Amino acid sequence: MALLNDLLGTLSNWLFGTILVWLLIGAGLLLTIRSRGVQLRHLGAILRSVSGSRSGAEGGISSFQAFAVGLACRVGTGNIVGVALALVLGGPGAVFWMWVVALVGTATAFTEATLGQVFKVRRGDGSYRGGPAFYIASGLGLPTVGGIFAVLFMVANGLAMPMVQANAMTATLGSSVSSTFGANVSPWVWAALVALLVAPVLLGGLRSIARVTELMAPLMAGVYLVLVAAIILTHPAQTISALGEIVSGAFGLRQGLAGVAGGVSAAILNGVRRGLFSNEAGLGGAACAAGSATVRHPVQQGFIQSFGVLVDTLLICTATALAILVAGAENPSVYQAGVTGADGADLSGTLTQTAIASVLGDWTSWPMTILVLVLAYSTILGAFSYAEVSLDYLTRAPWVTTALRVGAVACAFIGGGTALTTVWTFADVLLGLGAVINLVALALLGTWAVGALRDWEAQRRALADGEAEEIRFVATDNPHLPGNLPGDVWAPALR
């Protein structure tokens, strides 16, 4: 077991510490160039993409619901834990580089979501399924590789992820109850509670998950932003100073702003890593959610998933950083309270919560605990939706789908009651391997997303000139696409 842990740990560090960092940056830059900076040219459309996105589902999943599923996974405990770790290791300047990679990653998110729509398939119940497995199979003509991706994602998101997130939930509950009431409750009690909470939603399938996350994801993000906004509004001078530290620290313009790793290189490395893996652009999951939406044009979903990247990094991650920096200016001991080792290993459950409590008061302890629980819970739901989409590529046998749902609930119970370190690393490796496959596919299929974007731009001009009544994508004989699109989802008679 120790040998397996070492092997998985080495592979995970290699994937996430080197390979994926360069692949994600390279893919983002390539797709930014190909799309002629879609994230800048169409920033207005991206920001307006949420408007009207809750309508038009036509019996399937609305554009907003698909966005919320992706947001549920993007906005997770990493936004609280990971940003704090980036600050400790990279200093305030790490946040600036998170902004940079978010800007680049927006093009990646746009491309994978648009491809998820372009190559999606119709189900008999009026819903759709799409994502990396589907566009790898149809777009590249590599169904076996699509199957490999589907298996990796199904196991990681459908079985391993419920285990690790449930474990985080039970650990948080146990710690909070113990510190508040002095009671030591068996983790299996909390595990049973977690299983009871996730079972009704997971057993209901993708539509059930979409309905829950449609309400939960925006609400949890909003509550967290309100808490941080209270800090910012009551400490304007410290907030302005913190923003100055972020910019100065990014370029080493002021001494003493680097993290324990030291220097501008530490700020860049930790900011880039945190930004890349926080917004999830290019990792493939959001594309699974995007391909399930019912929209009139693929680019619509590309825009709204791009908006999710901006929400994750520019709002949530920045809010976390400002809360910590403002609290640190008010009370320097906040940092020492959150870090017990030079590597920040024990940072996970303390620094952000301590920062908020030091400014707003101890009453925030339980609201923050509940927020962490909701974040982990929503990640279970969002991740499982990716697994179900991946399973749909492999088989549509109802009994297999039911088995996966039951298995996910059982894994949540087992993971909640047992410390399974190997499962965490195993999930990382599977997701990392899937991300490598997805990024290569994005580089090869990017012309399809660019073609869809040009079609949307042409239709928008026609609409503005009064030559069209609506924007609607038709793939048949479309001069902007690089070839004929397989399937009939976007055929004129059906659209």
Task: Say whether pLDDT at 270 is over 70.
Answer: no
Task: Say whether pLDDT at 105 is over 60.
Answer: yes
Ranges 10-19, 65-74, 398-407, most confident: 398-407
Q: What is the pLDDT of residue 255?
A: 45
- Contact between 392 and 210 under an 8 Å Cβ cutoff? The reply is no
The DSSP bridge partners found for residue 129 are 121
DSSP string covering 343-363: T-TT-TTTHHHHHHHHHH-GG
* DSSP secondary structure code for residue 293 in this structure: B
Rounded Cα distance, 365 and 448, in Å: 48
CA 254 to chain centre: 33
Within 114-243, strands assigned E span 121-122, 128-129
- Contact between 91 and 272 under an 8 Å Cβ cutoff? The reply is no
How does the average pLDDT of the chain come out, rounded? Answer: 82
| Category of 472 on φ-ψ map: left (φ > 0), alpha (ψ -120 to 50) or beta | beta
Dig out the tokens for 145 from the structure.
Answer: 């590789």
Radius of gyration from C-alpha coordinates of the chain: 22
* DSSP secondary structure code for residue 364 in this structure: G
Q: Which residue has the tokens 């620290």?
A: 249
* Buried/exposed code over 395-406 (b: 16+ C-beta within 10 A; e: otherwise): eeeeeebeebbe
Q: Residues with Cβ < 8 Å from 196, sequence gap 6 or more?
A: none
Mean pLDDT of 29-57: 85
Ranges 66-80, 237-251, 446-460, most confident: 446-460
Indicate the domain borders of the chain. 2-462
Task: Say whether pLDDT at 350 is over 70.
Answer: no
Rounded Cα distance, 480 and 297, in Å: 14
Task: Say whether pLDDT at 335 is over 80.
Answer: no
| Category of 155 on φ-ψ map: left (φ > 0), alpha (ψ -120 to 50) or beta | alpha
Task: Say whether pLDDT at 252 is over 60.
Answer: yes
- Contact between 233 and 242 under an 8 Å Cβ cutoff? The reply is no
Dig out the tokens for 417 from the structure.
Answer: 């009651």
Q: What confidence tens digit (pLDDT) does each residue in 294-312 have?
A: 888 999 999 999 998 888 8
Q: Residues with Cβ < 8 Å from 217, sequence gap 6 or more?
A: 68, 69, 71, 72, 75, 378, 382
| Domain covering 2-462 in this structure, CATH number | 1.10.4160
Dig out the tokens for 436 from the structure.
Answer: 């490598």
- Taken in order 398, 134, 438, 25, is the CA torsion positive or negative? negative
Q: Place 268 in a pLDDT band, splitting at 50, 70 and 90.
A: low
125 against 163, higher pLDDT: 163
Q: Place 341 in a pLDDT band, splitting at 50, 70 and 90.
A: very low
Mean pLDDT of 66-86: 75
The DSSP bridge partners found for residue 122 are 128
Among the listed residues 481, 472, 486, 479, the one whose alpha carbon sits nearest the alpha carbon of residue 449 = 481
- Taken in order 259, 436, 113, 458, is the CA torsion positive or negative? positive
Q: Residues with Cβ < 8 Å from 432, sequence gap 6 or more?
A: 11, 12, 15, 16, 19, 20
The DSSP bridge partners found for residue 293 are 61
